[in-house]
Structure formats: structure tokens, C-alpha cells
Structure 1
């Protein structure tokens, strides 16, 4: 039987599973480093005459017992239609028999696994004494990050900036009321960047929001929000050059990350500057932070193995709680 999970069902299953999602994502990156999982760079497809892009984000995992693919549609024209710019769905099959295990809506799954990857990276790369968290962006991804990062450090303050001040104030109030953290708004990206020990960029920006000159010694940056397109980035070339970079996947970053591809084309970075993957750090194959003064940066493009890891978790949780619809696709 094939499990079908809707967005609201996934939201309910993951609402209290922050730690479980982070553990699943961390295990997936360890499996990748130890060659127990396969993660090809996703191909991008387009429709003639459209600026839309379709990414097939595939992965296979022995420990999870699944192969999966998420079809991500990135459609800028949807903004004028009042529709989400990005939409996705995940298909997971048994790695042993090929039977379709699950079909899952991708929105909440993607948001939660992205925030979990940031939390995992922050645990191993940020200074132990980090106390100020900065969030650039005010959408659902920012809320997911605030929730996922809450347990990674003893935050004394959270600073929020967004293009619409009212949305930033709303997010700060939610962080204070829902998460019990002291939160306030910043006046601009620079003020938040300069004050933050850990900075998360969570916008779909095409042009850099953060300048390298604003980064401070010992800071950790999570570059998350830019869509997986080679001409989109939130951090400028100087910022990338000043940082020790860790990526979720070298193959994916080499093909899809504007954060690394633009400075690579400019000659500011070489490929060796972004070869270290998160799984390498988690398994001890590469060092994490080397000094208190080092600026570290996690370039999070997002990978299909993270989707697979959360799909495995959702299948298991749905089975325990009796959630979802089960159908026989072969009938």
C-alpha cells in the first residue's frame, strides 16, 4: 500500500518532532559522507518561453531503505497569480522492491528539513558562546528556523529584519510569545548582520543582501534562502571569500549555488574552497570551526537526501499514529 500525506497531515506529524527531524537530517549527511547513500546533482529542466525551472532532486539511502525524488517547481510568474513561487511533491519507493512507499506534499517537509540542516550546521560550526541570533527574512522559513535553532544555543536575543517592517514586528512577537526568546526588529540587514553571532539569510534574493565587510570575527552564517539557481545569492563575493565554507553537497553547490558559482567565476574562490561537506564535519573527516575568530558559513542549497530522510521519518510516524491515506496504486 502507498501512503499519501497532505500538507496539513505532515504539519501535524512534524509539529513536535524538531529534534527527530534534526537527527534524521544529520544521519543522512553522515550516511552520504560514509558512502551509504547516493546523491546526484539534480538536473534542471525548463519549458521554452518560460522563466520557470523544474528540479528533480533524487537520492537513495541504504540505512533508510528508500529511494526518493522530489520534483521542485520554481515558478517566478506564480507571484503575479497569487500562488506560491515554489511547489513540490516527494515520491518515495522501497529500495528493496521498488514499491511506492509514499507520495508526500513537499511544502512543510522542505521547510522543516531546511531548518533542521541549518540547526545541525550551527551546532558544529558556531562558537559555543554564540548568544545573538539574526534572521534576515520573515516568511514561514524564518519561523521554522527560529524553532529549529532554539535548542542549539542559549540565545539571549533574536534580531529580525524583513523588507516589510510590519512582518518583521509580527515575527519578533511570535518568537517572543511562542518560543520564549527575547526578540526585536533590526533597522536594516547591516545592523542585524553586525550584531549577530549566528546569522541566517532566509530570503529569495537575486542580489546580495549581506556584504562581506559587515561580517565579524567568530561569526557563523547560514546562507539558506536563495533559490537553487546559479545567478541568485544573498551573500556577496567578499563575504564568501572571508568565510570558511561548508556545503550540504559539493556536486549540488557546484551546479546550483549562486553563492559559490558567482565568486568562482570571478576568481575569488576556487573549487577547493567549498569542497567540505556537512557530512565530512559530522563524521570527523573534516574539522569544524578551527578558531574562535574564524568566520564560518554553511551554504545550504537543499538536497534530495534531506527530503528522503524526512520522508522516512514521516512514513514511520504516520504508521505509529494511523495518519494518512493508504491506497493500492497497482489496483
Structure 2
């Protein structure tokens, strides 16, 4: 992208949700994140996510710098919005060139999140899941669950997708989404986790979704539903017997309830946590003798890497 500093005559370009999704495919998003880590970026360089109380909700501030580019996502979480017919989470992204910090693009932030979160999950799963994984189980039926099905189908050739959720109608819709992607899919229950090769947890649950003892040693589990220390989707029993991979140790110990609570219960230690960058670069070996868990909370560098890709993709 040519860095063309913003002026009143040359306002930053606006990218709506569909423009973002048209500019960067799920595969390209995954590659952008992989290239960033292989290029030597250390996620620990990201500042901590800012959390500011506002009314009954809160604002999240997520800045990052990647060489020539800088950016910040401003997200809001308003629990009462669904009753008003509005999204619970809303976001806007500002992309700037680092030398002048002039805004080059403004983006609809929810679409960026919908794109980059399954991309980092799929990047981890591509390294952690068994090469011959056949069954994908998804807990959740929202936009992230649907996006994860598409992203994961690009890293493994699944013969079946099993969807588990609280709403029969939403589960049916998610199954239909998988089928339209050319995947065999069906509704399931938490007990089906015992037969899954890859498990995705994409829910707003605050308590474990299933008995971790049911997870096979050969399985890979990805949990991305929460970024709060008092909420978790996985129990300490699973975290304690798994190889646990995280985006960044410090971030996980601040925000990942699955990690924070397992550590508090004595099932896990900080030293047990394996940074994703080490797995991607080969600095850390994957332990295939036990379950592999990837716990992510979403980090600022991921938004920035994909945002740059959106502008480059649109120009190409």
C-alpha cells in the first residue's frame, strides 16, 4: 500500500464489513498472522488491552505497532443492546502509518474481529491438530462459530462437523452453514466430544462446556469464547493434562479465565504455557502424546496484521 498521508482533500478510506471480507479471505488472514510471527514479531510487545467502564458496559482499547503500520481498535460491549435490537459488541478500527501516525483507513471493526479470530485459531489448529483429523466439533452457533467452521475446513479435510448449542433453531442454522460449505454436518450433544478430533469452543459460557476427561489424547481443543479471568469454557482437569498453547503468557494470565482459574486451582503453572509463536516457528515441539489446547483471547497485533492486508487486498 502506498502511504498517502491524510488531508481534508484526501480523507481516510472507509471499509465496510463486506469490503473487509471481500479483500481478505480466511486463508489469507491465517497466512498474514503466520507471516507476522515467522517474521519475528513477539506478541508480548502488544500493550495490555485497555478496559474502561462505560454505563452498564465497557470500552476496549486495542493498539498495536507492526513496523511501518500502527492501528487501534475501539470496541464497546453493551450487555443490554440485544434487547434494543443492537449488537452486544460494536467496534471501529483506525489504521495509521507509523512515521506520521496519520489515519490511512477506517474499518468496521466487528468484521475485522470475525475474520482475524478464526484465522489465529486455524493457524494454531494447523500446527496442533492431527494431520488426519476427521471430526470437527463446534460449541456455539454465533458468527464466530460459523467463521471457525469455514477457517478450520481450510486446514483439515473433515468428514463430519458436529454442532452443539442451546438453541435448536440456531444449531440447525449452523449445521446448514457447514453443509453449504460442502461439509457433512449434524447436531450433537456435549457427550460427542469424546469422538472429536478437533473441538472449537466459541460461546459466551462462564462455566466449562463439557467434562474434560472425555477429550481424547489425540485431540486438539481451541477455546476462544471469553477474554475475562472469571469465565472459562474448559475445566482445570483438561488444562492440567493438556499441552496448553497461548498467544502470549502475560496476556493469558491477565485475561484467559481457562488459564487463570486452572493456575489458581493448581492444575497448571505459568511455565506450562507455550507461546503460539514458538509453535509456529518450530522453537517448541508439539506434544502429541496428550491433548493440545489453544486458548486465545484476541490480541491487537492480529487486528493490525489483517487490517493492513485488507488495504493491500483492496488495492490489488
Give the structure-1-normalised TM-score.
0.88
Q: How does 1:24-173 map to 2 (within 5 A)?
A: 24-31=32-39, 33-35=40-42, 38-47=45-54, 50-62=55-67, 65-173=68-176
Report if the CA contact (8 A) 2:228-2:256 is conserved: yes
SS at match of 1:11: helix
Alignment-derived partner of residue 307 in structure 2: 311
Q: Distance between the aligned counterparts of 1:138 and 1:167, measured in 2?
A: 6
1:9 equivalent to 2:12? Answer: no
> How far apart, in 2, do the equivalents of 1:37 and 1:13 lie?
28
Distance 2:44 2:79 in 1: 32
Q: Which runs of 5+ in 2 are unaligned?
A: 1-5, 7-11
Q: CA deviation at 1:36?
A: 9.4
Displacement, 1:51?
4.5
Quick check: 2:207–2:233 contact (8 Å CA) kept in 1?
Answer: yes
Q: Give, in whole Å, the separation in 2 of the partners of 1:277 and 1:51.
A: 34
Displacement of 1:34 in angstroms is: 4.5
The alignment of Structure 1 onto Structure 2 pairs a total of residues equal to 306
Output one character per residue of 1:69-91: Cα deviation in whole Å (capped at 9) or x when no partner.
11121222223323211111111
Hey, what's the Cα distance between the residues in 2 that align with 1:8 and 1:307? 16
More moved, 65-74 vs 115-124: 65-74
**Secondary structure of residue in 1 paired with 2:133:** coil
Give yes or no for contact 2:164–2:187 (8 Å, CA) kept in 1.
yes
Match of 2:199 in 1: 199
Q: Alignment RMSD, CA only?
A: 1.7
The 1:280–1:185 alpha-carbon spacing in structure 2 relative to 1, beyond 3 Å, is same
CA–CA separation in structure 2 for the residues paired with 1:172 and 1:6: 27
CA drift of 1:37 comes to 8.7
- CA 1:147–1:40 in 2, change beyond 3 Å: closer, same or farther? same
Q: Within 5 Å, which residues of 2 pair with 1:269-288?
A: 269-274=268-273, 276-287=274-285
The structural deviation recorded for 1:13 is: 2.5
Contact 1:210 1:239 in 2 (8 A): no
4+ runs of 1 displaced by more than 4 Å?
33-37
> 1:261 & 1:36 partners in 2: Cα distance?
19
Deviation, structure 1 residue 43: 2.3
Paired with 2:191 and 2:257, the residues of 1 have a C-alpha distance of: 21
Q: Which runs of 5+ in 1 are unaligned?
A: 321-331
| TM-score, structure 2 normalization | 0.92
